[in-house]
Chain A
Amino acid sequence: MTKQLMSGDQAIARGAWEAGVMFAASYPGTPATEILESLAHYPEIHAQWSVNEKVAFDQGMGAAIAGVRAFVSMKHVGVNVAADSFMVFPYAGTNAGFVLISADDPGTHSSQNEQDNRYFAKFAKVPLLEPSDNQEAKDYVKLAYQISEQFETPVMLRVTMRLAHTKGLVEHGERSTAPKKPFVKDNLKWVVPPFAKAHRSPLENKMRAMEQYAETFPANKIEKGTGKADFGVITSGVIFQYAREVLPDPDFFKLGLTFPLPKQRLLDFCSQYQKVYVIEESEPFLEEQLRFCGIRNIAGKEMFTNIGELSPELIAQQMNGTIAPTDFSKEISTPARPPMLCIGCPHRGTFTALNRINGITVTGDIGCYTLGGLPPYNTMNTSFEMGGSIGQAFGFEKAGEPRTVAIIGDSTFLHSGIPPLLDAVYNKGKTTVVIVDNRTTGMTGQENHAGTGKGIHGEPAKQVDYEKICRALGVEFVKHASAFRPEEVEGAVREAIKFDGPSVVISEGPCVLIPEEKSKPKVAFTVVADECIACGLCFHTGCPAILESAETYRASASQKPRPKAIIDPLICVGCTLCAAVCPPECIVRVDGKPWGA
C-alpha cells in the first residue's frame, strides 16, 4: 500500500472519496477550505462551493435523504450559519450517510472567535469523531459514514487547524461505492414539524443505542504507556499527539468518538488510578461529561487553559514542571510583520475614499477588507461575522446615528447580505451599503462564487448582477465606481448617504491574486521628483510600495519641509491608485505611457 504525505484536509477529502461520497458542498473558510478544494479533484464526486454554509448543509441533507452519501465541510463559525438545519436534521435522521466536517480554529489564527464546536454535536445529539492524525483523519471519515448509516443519523467530524494544516503520512485505500438507496416518501418521517413530538423520544432511544455502541467502538482505546506512571490521561484529537510526545509513561484513554462517551469504560479506566488528567484544548467538553458521570478523581481545566491553543510545551510544563526557553527576540528591535493588504489590492482605494468623508461610522464585515479596521486605514468601526454589516448599519441608523455606511465584500454579500438589505428596504431604512466587489472570495484563497462567472473548476457559470439584485430588492439608488478611483467612490458614497432611502455603491476592482490579474503584465509607477509637492496624499493610500524620499519640498519659506514620495519599483504592481490621488499628476508609468482613461 502506498503512503502519501497529505494535509489533514487532504486526508479528509481522500476519506470521503474512498467512502463513496457522491455529493460534497462547502463555503470557503480557513482552516476547512482545502477539504473541498481537494475533493474537487476527484471526478466521481459532485463537489461545489455553495453560497453559504446553510445552503451547503441543506443540499447535503437533500442528497443524503434522497439516497447518496453526502459530505459538507466548513469552518467552525460556518456551523453557526448551518445550525438551523443541523439542529433539526437528527430528529428525522438520514437515509444515506451524511457527514459534517467542522474545522475549528483554537488560537483564532484566521477567525473571529474560537468556539469549541464539539458542543454543537452534543447540542444536536449527533455523534462526534475527533481524529488525532492524518491517517485517522482519513479513516474516521469512513467510520463516520458507517455510523451514519447504521444509526441513520448525521455525524460530525471535528478537526482543529493544527491537524487540518499539518502534513503526515496516509495509507491510501480504494473507493467503494454503494448503489443509491431508494428514497421512500414518508411524511411522518421527513416532514418534521408536525411530528417533532413523535420524533423526540426515538431520538433519545437512538442516543442510548449510540452510547452502547461507544462502549465497544474500536477507536476509543487505551494506549499503554511505559507503566512508570501512577496516573492516567484522557484525551482526544491532536492533543493526544502533544500529550504523548511529552508523557511517555502514563496509560492514555484516547477517545476517537467524543460524543457520546463510553461511560462505563471511562469509569473503569478512572477507577484504576488515583488521579486522571483530562487534557483537552479549548473548553472542558470531556471533563464536564466525566464530572456528570460522577467521576471525581480528575483534573482538567484548572491545569490547561481554555484560551488559545495548547502546545506540547504547555502540557510538559503543567505535567512535568519543565520550563521551555522563552522568546528572547525582544532583546533587540524586532518589528512585526502583521497581515496586510496585498500591493495592488482594490480595497485600499475604497478605504481611501471612505476616509475622506467626515463624520461617518463604517460597519464592517468578514474578508480581507476587515484589515480596514487596522492602521493605517482605521476606516471600519465594527466587524463581527459574515453578513453583519448591513443589519448593524440599520441598527445604528435607528439608534440615531444616521451617517453610517456598511462595507461588505462580494462573496459575503451573496453569503448573507441580501436579507438585511431587503429588510432595510421593507422597514424604510436609509442604509448605505458599499459592496467591495473584487470578483473572488479573496481571503480564503480566491475561490469562485456566484458573482465571478465561473464554477469551482473555472468553467463558465451564470454570473450574478449585483445591481439587478439590489434593484429587485427595492433599492432605488445603485451606483458603480472603480475602487482604483477614490474620487469616484467618494462621490458615489456622498450621494448615497444623502439619498432618501437605502442605497448601494458597488466599488469594483479585481483582487490581484485571481488568475487573470496575476497573468497581466505589470508596469510599475514612478514619482517625477521635480513635480512632487510632498502633499502626502499618496502616503494616505497606505500602499507599502510608496516610501518617503530623502528629498523634501516646501511651498514657501515659512513651511516645514516635508518628504517627497518615491515608489519601490520592485514591489509596485501598477494598480494606479496613487496616480489617481496625486494632485499635480506627477506619478506616472515607468515606461512613460498613459495609464488609462
Chain B
Amino acid sequence: MTHNFLFAGVGGQGVVLASEVLALVAAAEGYDVKQGEVHGAAQRGGAVVSHIRFGERVYSPLNLRGQVDVMVAFEKLEAVRHAHYLKPGGVLIVNDHRIEPTYLNTAVKYPEDPIGFLKTKSYRVLSLNATETARVLGNERVSSLVMLGAVSKFTPLKASSWDEVLQDRIPAKYLELNRRAFAEGQRTMA
C-alpha cells in the first residue's frame, strides 16, 4: 500500500522543506519514498506543488489525480488549484490564509470563499490558520511546521521519528520554536 500526499502552496512558504521532512520521516521508518516538485523558472513567485509517496515499493514519483490520500494546502487558493488530486473522501488540510497573487492582471479576482467552495466537494476539509498560529508563536516562517504537525496526525509515522528528523534538519537555535509549532499543528487536529 502506498501513502500518497500532495503539498501545495506559494513559493517562500516552506512547502519544499516541509515535504522533504515528511519524506525523511518516512525514509527513517524504512519505507521506500519518492518526493518531487518542479524547480526552475516555474518557482519565481509561483505556485509550488510537491508530491510525496511512500510505501513498501513506490514506482511513480507523481501522484495520480483522484488518488491522493492527504493534501496539505499552505494557501487556500492553491488548495482549489490542486484539490482534484484527492481521492473521494480524502483529507484536505487547508491553511485559512490568503496570499494575493502579485501578478498585475486584475481581471481574475481572488475567489471570495475558496474553503466554502472546497466543502461542496466530496473531501474531508479541515481548515486551520497556521500562519496566524505561527505569528503568535513569534515567527510566521514556522507556519510550515504547524502544517506538518497537522498532517502528522494523518500518517502512520511515529512521533519519535518526526522529532528525530526535526532535530536533524532544523538548526539548534530554532529547534524549540519549530517543535512548538509542530505541536500546535498536532493539537489543531486532535
Q: Which residues of A contact B (CB under 8 A)?
A: 3, 5, 7, 30-31, 109-110, 133, 161-163, 165-169, 238, 241-242, 244-246, 311-313, 316, 324-329, 331-343, 368, 375-376, 443-444, 542, 544, 571
Contacts and interface: CB of A to CB of B under 8 A. Distances in A.
Interface in B21-41: 23-24, 27, 32-41
A161 B66 contact: no
A264 to B, nearest CB: 28
B105 interface: yes
Contacts of B32: 168-169
Contact of A109 (B42, B101, B111, B114): B42
A342 B34 CA distance: 30
B164 to A, nearest CB: 14
Contacts of B102: 337, 340, 343, 544, 571
A167 B34 contact: yes
A411 to B, nearest CB: 15
Nearest to B103: A338
Contact of A245 (B43, B59, B82, B117): B59
B40 A31 contact: yes
Interface stretch (B44-52, B127-135, B145-153): B44-52
Contacts of A311: 62, 64
Given A109-B40, A244-B59, A336-B101, A328 B45 contact: no
Nearest to B102: A544
Contacts of A341: 44
Nearest to B121: A328
B83, B84, B104 interface centre (most CB from chain A within 10 Å): B104
B64 A316 contact: yes
Contact of A324 (B10, B20, B36, B65): B65
B190 interface: no
A37 to B, nearest CB: 12
Given A165-B36, A165-B37, A337 B45 contact: yes
B80 interface: yes
A5 B30 CA distance: 12
Nearest to A244: B59
A160 B66 CA distance: 25
A312 B60 contact: yes
B109 interface: yes
Contact of A339 (B10, B42, B81, B110): B42
B77 interface: yes
Contacts of A571: 102
B96 to A, nearest CB: 16
Given A110-B42, A339-B41, A166 B64 contact: no
B41 A30 contact: yes
B103 A340 contact: yes
16 contacts: A166-B36, A167-B36, A242-B59, A242-B62, A245-B64, A313-B65, A326-B84, A327-B84, A328-B83, A332-B80, A332-B111, A337-B47, A337-B103, A342-B45, A368-B44, A444-B40
A165 B62 contact: no
B175 to A, nearest CB: 20
A544 B100 CA distance: 11
A326, A328, A337 interface centre (most CB from chain B within 10 Å): A337
Given A5-B23, A335-B101, A110 B41 contact: yes
Given A166-B35, A168-B32, 19 more contacts: A30-B41, A109-B38, A109-B41, A133-B34, A165-B36, A167-B23, A167-B33, A167-B36, A169-B27, A245-B64, A311-B62, A311-B64, A312-B64, A336-B101, A336-B108, A337-B47, A340-B102, A340-B103, A544-B104
B109 A333 contact: yes
Nearest to A166: B36
A30 B39 contact: yes
B28 to A, nearest CB: 10
A544 B110 CA distance: 16
B108 A333 contact: yes
Interface string B75-103: 00100111110000000000000000111
Contacts of A334: 77, 80-81, 108, 111
Q: Is the interface of A mostly helix, strand, loop or mixed?
A: loop
Given A166-B34, A168-B33, A244-B59, A335 B108 contact: yes
Nearest to B26: A5
A7, A162, A168 interface centre (most CB from chain B within 10 Å): A168
B75 to A, nearest CB: 10
Contacts of B82: 329
A443 B102 CA distance: 19
B14 interface: no
A30 to B, nearest CB: 4
A325 B84 contact: yes
A25 B102 CA distance: 37
Nearest to A3: B27
Nearest to B42: A109
A438 to B, nearest CB: 14
Contacts of B80: 329, 332, 334
B41 A168 contact: no
B125 to A, nearest CB: 14
A166 B61 contact: yes
A339 B59 CA distance: 30
B46 A338 contact: yes
The 5 closest A-B pairs by CB, nearest first: A110-B40, A166-B36, A30-B40, A544-B102, A245-B60
Interface in B110-161: 110-111, 114, 117, 121
B73 to A, nearest CB: 12
Nearest to A331: B117
A167 B27 CA distance: 11
Given A169-B27, A325-B84, A328-B84, A162 B61 contact: yes
Contacts of A342: 44-45
A69 to B, nearest CB: 28
Contacts of A338: 45-46, 103
Contacts of B40: 30-31, 109-110, 443-444
Contacts of A444: 40
B80 to A, nearest CB: 5
B23 to A, nearest CB: 6
Contacts of A166: 34-36, 61
A570 B69 CA distance: 36
A336 B109 CA distance: 10
A162 to B, nearest CB: 6
A371 to B, nearest CB: 8
Contacts of A331: 117
B42 A169 contact: no
B46 A339 contact: yes
B38 A165 contact: yes
Contact of B45 (A332, A339, A376, A443): A339
